[in-house]
Amino acid sequence: MTTVDEVSRPSRLAEPDEAISAEELQLAARNHGIPLEALRYDLTPAGLHYLLIHYDIPDLDPAGHTLRVDGAVARPLTLDLADLRARPRVTHRVTLECAGNGRALLHPRPVSQPWLVEAVGNAEWTGTPLAPLLREAGLDADAVDVVFTGADHGVERGVEQDYQRALPVADALREEVLLAYEMNGAPLLPQHGAPLRLIVPGWYGMAHVKWLRSISVLTEPFTGYQNAVAYRLRQDAGDPGVPVTRIEPRALVRPPGFPDFMSRTRVLRPGPCTLDGRAWSGHAPVVAVEVTTDGGATWAPATLDEPTGGEFAWRRWRYEWDARPGRYVLSARATDASGRTQPVEQPWNRGGFANNVVQRVEVAVIST
Amino acid sequence: MTTVDEVSRPSRLAEPDEAISAEELQLAARNHGIPLEALRYDLTPAGLHYLLIHYDIPDLDPAGHTLRVDGAVARPLTLDLADLRARPRVTHRVTLECAGNGRALLHPRPVSQPWLVEAVGNAEWTGTPLAPLLREAGLDADAVDVVFTGADHGVERGVEQDYQRALPVADALREEVLLAYEMNGAPLLPQHGAPLRLIVPGWYGMAHVKWLRSISVLTEPFTGYQNAVAYRLRQDAGDPGVPVTRIEPRALVRPPGFPDFMSRTRVLRPGPCTLDGRAWSGHAPVVAVEVTTDGGATWAPATLDEPTGGEFAWRRWRYEWDARPGRYVLSARATDASGRTQPVEQPWNRGGFANNVVQRVEVAVIST
């Protein structure tokens, strides 16, 4: 008898000397990060925003697509896209980051989508706020969680499922949470959740359910796979862990100069060089970015550009560097208004989530 | 003294037991393939088309961008985008494939961008034909090669360079070769060569120079890196090799059913299943596709849909399969009108180019 257990194995950590497996490469070939030079764009262009798709991009017809709102509500609702577009329309500029960003740099390495540092993007999401819709449906007084179900279907660690994630009621009612149907002023692309997705500003990407088809209100905590099993911070397999929620602060350096094709090491000619990049946090606005050009021995403050998109969008930083011949390792680290700052030693957990250790950019300033 | 040689090492083959390196993963995180379920779209949507960018996406201002035509011509020309848009406008539907597609499946594995099978896309490219422009410039009678230079700059195997590729004059004068400024009806995206790129229908991707800024006619064969060193079919490092040119025939199966997240193995319930996919060749139209559901023991003909886009666009095929419980390996193989067909054993060369061994799709038809 053939069963899903044959094709779907438990999660595991890589052996200390184990390089990237064929399965990890297969994921890397389909899910991609932002090419780091694209940190130059405040708004990430279509196709350069990071993507993490658990199963397949589903084949949905926008004309027939509906959103069902039900469960512990007084008035269940069914809306099509015209209904949603007829509701109040708002746009938020939001930085999305995959909760697994940085995973492939961890020791030991959790075996999953092997991100380095590039699983991020910043886009304008247009749609209608979720909270008024929930209030129209009438949440029961004892509502606890709101479950968002996408149309993408697959198997994960032996569990066949539609992709589903729940938010606590208080988070679902935050005014900036959106049912989004446009990205950067155009209809959503298939890979970004067309025709409808959830946007939860400040949270890691797993919360922003794509291909959204239903919202169901529960009076008990949701026990589905993506909340109860997958996206949890735990130190070992037996640890129940805590949920992955908001984005930890991170700064990225836009690599200066030009690259070597294979090593991606940067080559730069000597002289004054403005280093720049982006910094963000889902907990609170970024208030400081520091830069090191000596691999972390010393840090100096960068200047922050004016915010361009509210508290959930990344912010540009700049640092003037006098580049002299030699080899360098550049890093930047962000601190937010909640006091969180990026660590220089890896924060490790078994899923490889919310890992915001500082990036290292290798640069050769050449004398010829 | 710091030099480019420190950051840029010679090409190499992986050791027999060597898994994917950090450098290969770094390339895979930025250059991505088509997610195979997107083979459902005849025209590949923005952001799902494969991308291979040797260096960085350059930062170009379309308003100030010009194209220079010079070298062995009677009348050198400089054109801006308005000049090019004022010329005759044509649209071709063209399948582009990276010459390195399939490289990471080779034994031994050439260490470079580690493609599996997904480095392909099919798009509509709009622009103006190149040949009339070359005739207006007036090619010298002894012209041999036409060199196309992009604005992307980097180091490769120790050679600092702008990306440059030459075409023999006869190929540059083919009527279907385009200077393209639109993809799928929209201005080129930055990562696809904005504001201007070359399209050479039938050739592997390396010929379709992105971010095109100059065209120079030579009376001697071009000896630049990408033609003379990089894109050549050779059996060992000392072999001068032959140039990589046109796309070898290939068919891909759109994986049926739904995936396991990690292994990407497909899960399917028993019953009739229409398998489908796409097939293409740069040498001649695809005339036949065969399918195996038993790992290559037996092959049966697929049916071909009517062509949708001329001889350089992929063509859809279909095959009716009665899926019964068990484990299967599905493959398809294409044959073109020139008599070329896909091999079931790997065609190997040191760069891992033009490798069109058949894809293998693992499927579990589950009984529950």
Q: What is the least distance, in Å, from the CA of B90 to any CA of chain A?
A: 25
Predicted complex ipTM: 0.95
Indicate which CATH number applies to the domain containing A327: 2.60.40.650
Q: What is the least distance, in Å, from the CA of A88 to any CA of chain B?
A: 28
State whether A82 and A230 are in the same domain. Answer: yes
Residues with Cβ within 8 Å of residue B150, at least 6 apart in sequence:
B58, B162, B163, B164, B193, B197, B209, B210, B211, B212, B213
Question: Which residues 192-251 on chain A approach chain B with CB closer than 8 angstroms?
Answer: none
Contacts of B1 in chain A (CB under 8 A): 325, 367-368
State whether A194 and A258 are in the same domain. Answer: no
The pLDDT tens digits of the residues spanning B283-310 come to 999 999 999 999 999 999 999 999 999 8
Residue A300 in contact with partner chain B when CB distance is under 8 A: no
The pLDDT tens digits of the residues spanning B161-209 come to 999 999 999 999 999 999 999 999 999 999 999 999 999 999 999 999 9
Q: Which residues of A282-313 are buried (b: 16+ CB within 10 A; e: fewer)?
A: bbbbbbbbbbbbeeeeebeebebeeeebebbb
Contacts of B264 in chain A (CB under 8 A): 23, 26-27
Which pLDDT value is given to residue A334? Answer: 98
State whether A198 and A273 are in the same domain. Answer: no
Which pLDDT value is given to residue A2? Answer: 84
Contacts of B156 in chain A (CB under 8 A): 260-262
State whether B111 and B133 are in the same domain. Answer: yes
Tell me if A9 and B190 make a contact (CB, 8 A cut-off): no
Q: Which residue of A has its CA nearest to B326?
A: A2
Tell me if A25 and B327 make a contact (CB, 8 A cut-off): no
Q: Cα A209–A213–A214 angle (5° rounding)?
A: 90
Residue B20 in contact with partner chain A when CB distance is under 8 A: yes
Nearest by CB to A114, from B25, B263, B367: name it. B25
Number of separate domains in chain A: 2
Contacts of A262 in chain B (CB under 8 A): 8-9, 23, 27, 111-112, 156-157
- The Cα B293–Cα B342 span in angstroms is 16
Tell me which residue of B227, B213, B122 sits closest to B171, measured CA to CA.
B227
Residue ending a domain, among A243, A265, A288, is: A243
Tell me which residue of B32, B119, B50, B128 sits closest to B84, measured CA to CA.
B128
Q: What is the least distance, in Å, from the CA of A141 to any CA of chain B?
A: 37
Residue B155 in contact with partner chain A when CB distance is under 8 A: yes
C-beta atoms surrounding A154 within 10 Å:
23
Tell me if B189 and A47 make a contact (CB, 8 A cut-off): yes
State whether A97 and A201 are in the same domain. Answer: yes
Which pLDDT value is given to residue A4? Answer: 85
User: What is the mean pLDDT of the segment spanning B12-36?
Assistant: 94
State whether A121 and A33 are in the same domain. Answer: yes
Backbone angles phi, psi at B241, to 5 degrees: 75, 180
Tell me if B2 and A364 make a contact (CB, 8 A cut-off): yes
Residue B47 in contact with partner chain A when CB distance is under 8 A: yes
The stretches in chain A having pLDDT less than 50 are: none
Tell me if B25 and A153 make a contact (CB, 8 A cut-off): no
Residues with Cβ within 8 Å of residue A135, at least 6 apart in sequence:
none
Residue B91 in contact with partner chain A when CB distance is under 8 A: no
Contacts of A19 in chain B (CB under 8 A): 18-21
Contacts of A260 in chain B (CB under 8 A): 4, 7-8, 154-156
3-class secondary-structure state, position B211: coil
State whether A128 and A272 are in the same domain. Answer: no
State whether A227 and A346 are in the same domain. Answer: no
Tell me if A262 and B8 make a contact (CB, 8 A cut-off): yes
State whether A206 and A303 are in the same domain. Answer: no
Q: What is the least distance, in Å, from the CA of A120 to any CA of chain B?
A: 12
State whether B147 and B286 are in the same domain. Answer: no
Nearest by CB to B8, from A37, A154, A263: name it. A263
Question: Which residues 114-153 on chain B approach chain A with CB closer than 8 angstroms?
Answer: 114-116, 118, 153
Residue A322 in contact with partner chain B when CB distance is under 8 A: no
Render B174-207 in DSSP notation, one character per residue.
-TT-EEEEEETTEEPPGGGTTT-EEE-TTB-GGG
How many helices (H) does chain B have, and how many strands (E)? 5, 22
Nearest by CB to A29, from B41, B118, B326: name it. B118
Tell me if A7 and B40 make a contact (CB, 8 A cut-off): no
Q: What is the least distance, in Å, from the CA of B303 to any CA of chain A?
A: 23
Tell me if B47 and A191 make a contact (CB, 8 A cut-off): yes
Kindly state the tokens that stand for A279.
């910094």
pLDDT over 80 (residue B1): no
Cβ atoms of B188 and B194 closer than 8 Å: yes
State whether B17 and B47 are in the same domain. Answer: yes
3-class secondary-structure state, position A45: coil
Q: What is the least distance, in Å, from the CA of B267 to any CA of chain A?
A: 7
Tell me which residue of A119, A365, A367 sits closest to A266, measured CA to CA.
A365
Residue A54 in contact with partner chain B when CB distance is under 8 A: yes
Tell me if B260 and A1 make a contact (CB, 8 A cut-off): no
Contacts of A2 in chain B (CB under 8 A): 325-327, 364-367
Residue ending a domain, among B212, B243, B274, is: B243
- The Cα A140–Cα A186 span in angstroms is 36
Tell me which residue of A331, A347, A310 sits closest to A107, measured CA to CA.
A347
The pLDDT tens digits of the residues spanning B48-102 come to 999 999 999 999 999 999 999 999 999 999 999 999 999 999 999 999 999 999 9
Q: Which residue of A has its CA nearest to B153?
A: A258
Residue ending a domain, among A206, A223, A243, is: A243
- The Cα A165–Cα A162 span in angstroms is 10
Tell me if B153 and A9 make a contact (CB, 8 A cut-off): no
- The Cα A314–Cα A281 span in angstroms is 8
Preferred mutation among A5, A6, A7 to probe B, highest tally of B CBs within 10 A: A7
Confidence of residue B7 (pLDDT cuts 50, 70, 90): confident
3-class secondary-structure state, position A120: strand
Name the residue range of residue A165's domain.
4-243
The pLDDT tens digits of the residues spanning B304-324 come to 999 999 899 999 999 999 999
Residue A17 in contact with partner chain B when CB distance is under 8 A: no
Q: What is the least distance, in Å, from the CA of A129 to any CA of chain B?
A: 27
Preferred mutation among B4, B34, B56 to probe A, highest tally of A CBs within 10 A: B56
Q: Which residue of B has its CA nearest to A113?
A: B262
Indicate which CATH number applies to the domain containing A94: 3.90.420.10
State whether A123 and A10 are in the same domain. Answer: yes
